[in-house]
């Protein structure tokens, strides 16, 4: 690899190296935008820089670089970035040789031990970053890297720029600060390629946030130069070198320690799944039921579904939503109720049709209280379709009715003739604590009765979604009008309720 | 609930109130004999204020002449409006805030009180048109008002009230005293 440097860069390179700048920061200040140049081991870059300055065969740069490439370690490391994995493997399999080579390299270029006066080591010791991603075993397709650096680094950068500018003012065209490759940019070139090639892929983005700090120089933020740098970010030409020297050393002083990696946060974009669930149990709430912080039932529909899902996607958490919800004592039969889940920070994001089928199966064998079908990965946007049709859709129910007075089969037969019965439902008392008080009109499209005995019958109802069936039966203190008590002219109560169907055509059904 | 299928007589089936509400009472409200009130508290803390079955209005075949939610010149419970999930704008009631005055055809007048602190959500307007609801179904369709206690007070508001057992003891003592005096 030949560094894309020109003769005019020589004084700059010279000045930066002697000021204690690391090899990669030298590249930045020379406005090198070839990413591959940064990814080479810094000893090599440094060696090339020194050859560039002092090399005997000034006109045969290519040849000299080629010659160096004959060294096995150098040639391997100098290869294109995708071979980083190959390099690591070589290191592992061939430990001794690699170590010896590294020691040799260190002996030649002692400068590498020094912490860079500009980046405070950010571009020198970055290998921990990809390690963090690897230990969490993320599967991802692309990477969005964000880097947080100590704010005071801009002081060092500016001081160093002034230092160079003073030197080269006469000899070369003005070095524009905006042309310097930003430290963050260079860091991302270094790290991003390493992580991506380690884990590969194209589609689902993983967000990696890296944070550095450097406490010993935090007080730089209080210096005059820092204020100026912040204020005149892009108009630094206006203040003179001399004034800077009064407030901050130029070039920056040699630091005794590197930046500390505060933490690496990895966050994979949410994955959304959808399906339909049946609930076969009359003592199972849909979501965990807490009263005064205490759990009322040992499990819930969402937890029974979530446990296998979270482990399949290796997600950190979830948000569950569904097309309506049934009460704890209500069963949901038939094709089930549409639901969707947002899976937070999934470490595994891409399950194929077969994987999803297996996941569904593992949910279904894990409990006989629920059953899931049509389980699939969906888009965030598609989830909206579950909610949008909620009010217009119909639902069918079967209710077990108790009557206070004895009934005969023919006493209830007339109910089947009632069609499109409009109810005025005040917000039921049982949900009034969390819903606004209102009178809502809901339609019972049709009803059918199945006589059981003198005090019981089954009532089948087809209703507009959002109809409170329990309140329609017992009347809720007369707050639902008309109600079944009115129709039958006697007290009635609801003993059991089953949802027979939730007529929402999303998510699409999957052939078993 | 499953075994209620076999039983089916009215006594064995827990009613809606039995299933979801706790009954609380105030006896002889404001020192007036037998003016007992009942507060049905739902497990979600919402309270329904009703007449206790022992209330004088419900005795001796009385009939109701009028029910008045205008409790003073400036305040009518009918003007109560709540909006949103947080029930903004509802009148705030203390233990002895009057809810309405009921006049019977024998010209006896009774004031019904809130019994608990909380926000008034609604009053039962249907008893204005159909006062017989109050007489026939005092604990359901003939309710007086719905009150939402403050979340943090949902437990403490019932501390000053009588449990069903305590109330029944008072009622039976009353009966004993009555039979002795007569």
Please report, rounded to a whole number, the percentage of residues in chain A having pLDDT higher than 70: 78
**Residue B144 forms part of a structural domain:** yes
Q: What is the reported pLDDT for A59?
A: 43
Position A234 pLDDT exceeds 90: no
Query: What is the pLDDT confidence band of residue A244, given thresholds at 50, 70 and 90?
Result: low
How confident is residue A74, by pLDDT bands cut at 50, 70 and 90?
Answer: very low
State the DSSP H helix or E strand holding residue A344, giving kind and residue range, or none if neither: strand A330-344
Give the lowest-confidence range in A92-96, A375-379, A463-467, B122-126: A92-96
- All residues of chain A having their beta carbon less than 8 Å from the beta carbon of residue B43 are 291
* Residue B63 forms part of a structural domain: yes
CB contacts under 8 A, A 421-480 vs B, are 426, 429-437, 452-456, 474-478
CB A493 within 8 A of CB A472: no
The answer to whether the Cβ–Cβ distance between A495 and B85 falls below 8 Å is: no
Instruction: Note the pLDDT of residue A55.
Output: 72
A496–B2: do the CB atoms touch at under 8 Å? yes
Structure tokens at B135: 């007489």
Give, in order, the Cα–Cα distances in Å from B135 to each of A485, B47, B54. Answer: 18, 20, 12
pTM score, whole prediction: 0.73
Task: Give the burial class of A365: count Cβ atoms within 10 A of its Cβ; 0-12 exposed, 13-18 middle, 19 or more buried.
Answer: exposed
| Residues A199, A230: Cα–Cα separation, whole Å | 38
Q: Which domains does chain A have, with CATH numbers?
A: 1-112 (no CATH), 115-269 (no CATH), 271-386 (3.30.70.2510), 394-502 (3.30.70.3190)
State the pLDDT at residue A113.
66
ipTM for this prediction: 0.93
Residue B86 lies in a domain: yes
Asked if A489 is an interface residue toward chain B (Cβ–Cβ < 8 A), one would say: no
Question: Is the pLDDT score of A457 beyond 50?
Answer: yes
CA distance A463 to chain B (A): 22
Q: Which residues pair with A344 in a beta bridge?
A: A317
Task: Tell me, yes or no, whether B133 lies in a domain.
Answer: yes
Which two structure tokens, joined as six digits, stand for A91?
């290191």
pLDDT at residue A84 tops 80: no
The alpha helices in A413-477, defined as continuous H runs, are: 469-474
Q: Which of A453, A477, A493 sits opposite B13 (nearest CB)?
A: A493
How large is the average pLDDT for residues A90-107? 39
Which chain B residues are Cβ-neighbours of A496 within 8 angstroms? 1-2
Is A285 within 8 Å of chain B by CB? Answer: no
Q: Which residue of B has its CA nearest to A407?
A: B8
Residues of A in contact with B141 (CB under 8 A): 475, 477-478
| Residue B166: CATH number of its domain | 2.40.50.100
**Chain-centre distance of CA B36, in angstroms?**
9
Closest CA to A500 of A471, A440, A459: A459
Instruction: Give residue-wise pLDDT tens across range A171-185.
Output: 555 567 778 899 998
Cβ-contact A163, A19 below 8 angstroms: yes
State the average pLDDT over residues A344-373: 95
Q: Would residue B25 count as lying in a domain?
A: yes
Chain centroid offset of residue A51 CA = 45
Alpha helices, H only, A70-144: 72-78, 84-93, 95-108, 128-135
The pLDDT-based confidence of A241 (bands split at 50, 70, 90) is low
| B127 interaction partners in chain A (CB closer than 8 Å) | none
In A379-491, DSSP assigns E strands to 394-403, 419-426, 439-453, 456-464, 480-481
With a CB cutoff of 8 Å and minimum separation 6, the contacts of A138 are A199, A206, A266, A268, A347, A348
Distance from CA of B179 to the nearest CA of A (A): 34
Q: Which of B10, B83, B148 sits opposite A436 (nearest CB)?
A: B83
pLDDT surpassing 90 at residue A464: yes
What pLDDT is attached to residue A491? 95
Q: Give chain B's domain count.
A: 1
Provide the pLDDT for residue A39.
Answer: 87
Distance, in angstroms, between B1 CA and closest chain A CA?
6
**Active site (annotated) includes residue A220:** no
Q: Decide if B178 is inside a domain.
A: no
Yes or no, beta carbons of A426 and B122 under 8 Å apart = yes
- Per-residue pLDDT band for A2 (boundaries 50, 70, 90) equals confident
Least CB–CB distance from B13: residue in A291, A402, A452: A402
pLDDT for the residue A128: 62
- A130-134, A266-270, A443-447, range with greatest mean pLDDT: A443-447
Judged by CB atoms closer than 8 Å, whether chains meet at A478 and B140 is answered as yes
Q: Which of A282, A426, A429, A439 to mutate to test the interface with B (most CBs of B within 10 A)?
A: A429
DSSP character at residue A131? H
For chain A, first and last CA: distance in Å? 57
The single-letter DSSP state of residue A18 is H
**pLDDT at A143 (0 to 100):** 75
Length in residues, chain B? 182
The pair of three-digit structure tokens given for residue B51, joined into one six-digit string: 């007449």
- For the segment A334-359, the average pLDDT, to the nearest whole number, is 94
**A350 interface with B at CB cutoff 8 Å:** no
Rank A42-56, A251-265, B82-96 by mean pLDDT and report only the highest. Answer: B82-96
Among candidates B82, B124, B133 on the partner chain, residue whose Cβ is nearest the Cβ of A437: B82
Q: Is the pLDDT of residue A487 over 90?
A: yes
* Interval A103-126 mean pLDDT: 68
In the predicted model, what is the mean pLDDT of chain A?
82
Cα separation, A20 vs A110, in Å, equals 12
Q: Which residues of A touch B46 (CB under 8 A)?
A: 429, 432-433
pLDDT along chain B (182 residues), means of 10: 43 81 96 96 96 95 95 95 94 96 96 96 96 95 97 92 97 91 74
Q: Give the residue among A302, A272, A335, A250 at the shortest CA–CA distance from A512.
A: A335
Burial category of B120 from C-beta neighbours within 10 Å (exposed 0-12, middle 13-18, buried 19 and up): buried
Sign for the CA dihedral angle at A175, A177, A179, A184 comes to: positive
Residues of A in contact with B85 (CB under 8 A): 434-436
Question: Can you tell me the mean pLDDT for A9-38?
Answer: 91
Range of the domain at B48: 16-170
Q: What is the pLDDT of residue A198?
A: 54
Catalytic site residue from A71, A91, A141, A327:
A327
Give domain status of residue B66, yes or no: yes
Q: What is the pLDDT of residue B181?
A: 80
Residue A68's pLDDT band (boundaries 50, 70, 90)? very low
Q: Would you give the end-to-end CA distance of chain B in angstroms?
A: 45
Among A2-11, A235-244, A265-274, A352-361, name the one with the lowest average pLDDT: A235-244
Residue B109 lies in a domain: yes
DSSP string of chain B?
-TTHHHH-STTTS--HHHHHEEEEEE-SGGG-TT--EEEEEETTS-EEEEE-TTSGGGSTT--EEEEE-B-SSS-BGGG---BTTTTBTPPEE-TT-EEEEEEETTS-EEEEE--S-EEEEEE-THHHH-THHHHH-TTTTT--EEEE--GGGTTGGGTTSEEHHHHHHHHHHHHHHHHHH-
DSSP code for A216: G
Closest CA to B123 of A481, A437, A442: A437
């Amino acid at each position: 690899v030949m560094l894309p440097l020109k003769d005019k860069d020589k004084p700059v390179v010279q000045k930066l190296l002697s000021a204690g700048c690391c090899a990669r920061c030298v590249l930045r200040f020379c406005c090198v935008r070839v990413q591959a140049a940064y990814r080479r081991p810094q000893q090599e870059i440094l060696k090339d820089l020194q050859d560039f300055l002092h090399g005997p065969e000034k006109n045969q740069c290519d040849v000299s670089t080629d010659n160096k490439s004959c060294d096995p370690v150098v040639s391997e490391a100098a290869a294109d970035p995708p071979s980083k994995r190959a390099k690591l493997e070589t290191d592992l399999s061939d430990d001794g040789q690699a170590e010896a080579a590294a020691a040799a390299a260190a002996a030649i270029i002692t400068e590498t031990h020094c912490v860079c006066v500009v980046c405070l080591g950010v571009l020198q010791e970055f290998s921990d970053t990809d390690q963090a991603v690897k230990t969490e075993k993320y599967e991802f397709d692309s990477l969005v890297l964000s880097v947080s650096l100590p704010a005071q680094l801009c002081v060092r950068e500016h001081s160093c720029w002034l230092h160079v500018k003073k030197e080269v003012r006469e000899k070369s065209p003005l070095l524009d600060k905006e042309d310097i490759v930003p430290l963050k940019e260079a860091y991302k070139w270094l790290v991003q390629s390493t992580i991506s090639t380690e884990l590969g892929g194209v589609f689902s983005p993983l967000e990696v946030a890296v944070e550095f700090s450097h406490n010993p120089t935090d007080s730089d933020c209080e210096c005059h130069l820092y204020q100026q740098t912040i204020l005149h970010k892009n108009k630094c030409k206006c203040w003179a070198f001399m004034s800077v020297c009064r407030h901050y050393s130029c070039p920056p002083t040699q630091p005794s320690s590197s930046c500390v990696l505060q933490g690496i946060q990895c966050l994979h974009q949410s994955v959304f799944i959808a399906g339909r669930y049946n609930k076969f149990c009359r003592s199972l709430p849909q979501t965990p039921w807490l009263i005064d912080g205490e759990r009322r039932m040992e499990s819930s529909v969402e937890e029974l579904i979530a446990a296998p899902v979270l482990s399949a996607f290796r997600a950190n958490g979830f948000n569950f939503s569904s097309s309506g919800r049934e009460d704890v004592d209500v069963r949901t039969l038939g094709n089930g109720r549409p639901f969707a889940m947002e899976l937070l920070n999934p470490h595994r994001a891409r399950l194929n049709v077969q994987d999803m089928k297996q996941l569904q199966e593992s949910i279904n064998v894990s409990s006989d209280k629920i059953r899931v079908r049509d389980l699939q990965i969906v888009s965030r946007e598609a989830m909206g379709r579950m909610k949008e049709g909620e009010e217009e859709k119909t639902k069918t129910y079967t209710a077990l009715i108790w009557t206070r007075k004895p009934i005969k089969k023919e006493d209830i037969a007339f109910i089947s003739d009632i069609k499109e019965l409009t109810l005025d439902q005040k917000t039921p008392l049982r949900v009034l604590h969390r819903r606004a008080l209102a009178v809502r009109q809901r339609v019972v499209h049709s009803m059918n009765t199945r006589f059981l005995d003198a005090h019981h019958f089954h009532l089948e109802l087809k209703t507009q979604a959002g109809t409170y069936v329990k309140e329609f039966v017992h009347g809720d203190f007369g707050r639902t009008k008309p109600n079944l008590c009115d129709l039958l002219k006697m007290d009635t109560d609801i003993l059991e309720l089953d949802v027979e169907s939730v007529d929402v055509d999303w998510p699409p059904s999957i052939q078993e | 609930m499953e075994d209620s299928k076999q039983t089916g007589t009215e006594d064995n089936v827990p009613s809606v109130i039995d299933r979801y509400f706790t009954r609380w009472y105030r006896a002889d409200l404001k020192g007036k004999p037998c003016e007992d009130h009942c507060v049905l508290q739902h497990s979600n803390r919402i309270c329904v204020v009703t007449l206790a079955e022992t209330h004088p209005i419900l005795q001796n075949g009385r009939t109701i002449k009028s029910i008045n939610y205008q409790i003073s010149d400036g305040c009518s419970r009918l003007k109560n409006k709540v909006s949103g999930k947080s029930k903004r704008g509802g009148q705030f009631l203390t233990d002895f805030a009057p809810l309405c005055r009921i006049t019977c055809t024998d010209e006896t007048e009774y004031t019904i009180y809130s019994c608990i602190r909380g926000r008034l959500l609604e009053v039962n307007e249907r008893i204005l048109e159909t006062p017989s609801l109050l007489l026939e179904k005092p604990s359901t369709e003939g309710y007086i008002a719905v009150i939402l206690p403050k979340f943090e007070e949902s437990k403490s508001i019932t501390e000053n009230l009588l449990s069903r057992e305590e109330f029944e003891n008072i009622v039976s003592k009353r009966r004993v005293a009555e039979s002795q005096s007569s």
